[in-house]
Amino acid sequence: MAVITAEEAVSLKSRYPQVFHRPLHQKLLAPIAAVAVAAYLVFCFFFFNIAGVISDANWERAGTYIADWYSWEANPRFRFKDDQVEIEWTRSLLGDNPDPDWIARADDGSYTVTLGNPGNRVEITATHVVAVVNGRPYDVPITEAGAELPADAPSNMSLKNGRVTVDYGFVGLAEIRNSQVFVRHRFLGWPNFFFDTNSPFFGMDMEQLWTSASSAEQIDARMPNWQLMLVEFLYNSEWQHLDTFNKLLQTIVMAFVGTLFAAMVAFPLSFLAARNITPNPIGNWFMKRFFDLLRSVDMLIWALFFVRGFGPGPIPGIAAIFFTDTGTLGKTNTEALENIDDKQREGVRSVGASAANVQRYGVVPQVLPVFISQALYFWESNTRSATIIGAVGAGGIGLKLIEAMRTNQDWENVAYMVILILIVVFVFDNISNALRSRLIGQPAH
């Protein structure tokens, strides 16, 4: 490690005073910036009432929604009618006449519902209900006013509006009222993802499916079993795979067609906006303001505008992407044109080429890789954007996604469509990255 002498240090300070003797405002610039950012964050914290939002948030409901993404529920209702208990099913995924092994019916008409393990169960008779938690029974009194909380109730039992809720964790809960007992029993997975309960293949394991698909004995005389299996999968009434795939294809087409049209229109218009290509200050100014107008209106606003004009469907989505990207690509293309190397253009002009050939051979080869790279990036980005604008009526999987969310019961379908969107975005991101890397001569990452 070299050590400088005092004379050398003095010499350095005299030669580079801007480094060793910075003005006070430059020294304080970084601390002032840090304090300003901290003050801004504190302002945002109180202005948007972050503490209130967090405290008022229904985290339990959020957890339920997340659990619905990777699991399903069975929802039997045990109604008290004429000194008897009658069982009803709410949107059963177990078939038309389910008889699961976790519900046992005794000879006297009472029911025992086991949730998770035998130590957690609900015993239901026509006169009283017993909730068993970790092997300990708790008698839940039922009056005309509603169910009452036991005196020695554990922490997972609560009372609200005459309803006693027994929370057994992930496996579910039991809601005890004076007229019924509502049970929510949760299981991992999606049991009817491939085939709905009306399908002859519902409930079959992989070995049974393979045997059925390869069997010469046809279930449906119109087609072989493997073909029927494909039809049953695509036309699954719960998951609607065929319709979901069609909507996803609509989203991909919307992104591709909208970006393609925008790139085709922005290409010639950017030549008119570039000062060094078209030396017309008034024309340059108006063309750039035209690009600003198109891109200053958000794509979602354009989509709402066109949906009102043309009705729901992919055409408003394509138009919204086209308008927004024409403005954005026009601006980026113009900036690329205004930063080209004029030597190549002057070289083409020096051999007596026409004005069109000067642009064709002196300008286009320089900017074309940039233009295509930008268009590919926007194509990949618009695959995601098309999902959002679809939610406001522009068609595609976005519309189907928002419909599933509005039911507040189809969160597993929401998870399915989100996974499909992620796969499509991942694939198109890699395709776009590979094409851009090939254009600029660098290996793809």
* Residue-wise pLDDT tens digits, 211-235: 888 888 888 888 888 899 999 999 9
Q: CA-CA distances (angstroms) from residue 210 to 195, 207, 229, 418?
A: 14, 5, 10, 29
The reported pTM is: 0.74
> Distance between CA 194 and CA 236 in Å, rounded?
7
Specify which residues 104 forms β-bridges with.
112
Enter the tokens of residue 320.
């919204």
Domain ranges of the chain: 73-188, 241-440
Q: CA-CA distances (angstroms) from residue 152 to 139, 156, 161, 165, 167?
A: 10, 12, 19, 15, 16
Rg (CA), the chain: 34
Residues 68-126: pLDDT tens digits?
A: 788 888 889 999 888 888 898 877 777 767 878 899 988 888 899 999 888 899 999 88
Element (H, E) at 156: none
In this prediction, residue 278 carries a pLDDT of: 83
Enumerate residues 6+ apart whose C-beta is below 8 A from 170. 67, 71, 186
Residues 243-283: pLDDT tens digits?
A: 999 999 999 999 999 999 999 999 999 989 988 888 888 98
Cα dihedral: 142, 147, 152, 153 (round 10): 140
Helices then strands, each counted (H, E), the chain: 17, 14
| CATH classification (class only), 241-440 | mainly alpha
Q: Where are the alpha helices (DSSP H) in 215-313?
A: 225-234, 241-273, 281-296, 299-310
Element (H, E) at 122: strand 121-124
In this prediction, residue 24 carries a pLDDT of: 67
Specify which residues 138 forms β-bridges with.
131
Output phi, psi for 25, to 5 deg.
Answer: -65, -30
Q: Cα–Cα–Cα angle for 79, 162, 66, nearest 5°?
A: 80
Which residues of the chain fall below pLDDT 70?
1-3, 8-10, 12-27, 96, 408-409, 439-445
> Distance between CA 141 and CA 129 in Å, rounded?
7
The one-letter code for the residue type at 18 is Q
Enumerate residues 6+ apart whose C-beta is below 8 A from 225. 212, 213, 214, 215, 218, 219
In this prediction, residue 386 carries a pLDDT of: 86
In this prediction, residue 39 carries a pLDDT of: 94
In this prediction, residue 441 carries a pLDDT of: 61
Half-sphere exposure of 445 (CA within 13 A, CB side): 1
> Distance between CA 91 and CA 441 in Å, rounded?
56
Q: Cα–Cα–Cα angle for 286, 288, 290, nearest 5°?
A: 70
Enter the tokens of residue 372.
């295509």
Residue showing tokens 């290996």 = 443
> Distance between CA 75 and CA 197 in Å, rounded?
16
Are residues 314 and 329 in contact, defined by beta-carbon separation less than 8 angstroms?
A: no
> Distance between CA 364 and CA 352 in Å, rounded?
18
The one-letter code for the residue type at 254 is M
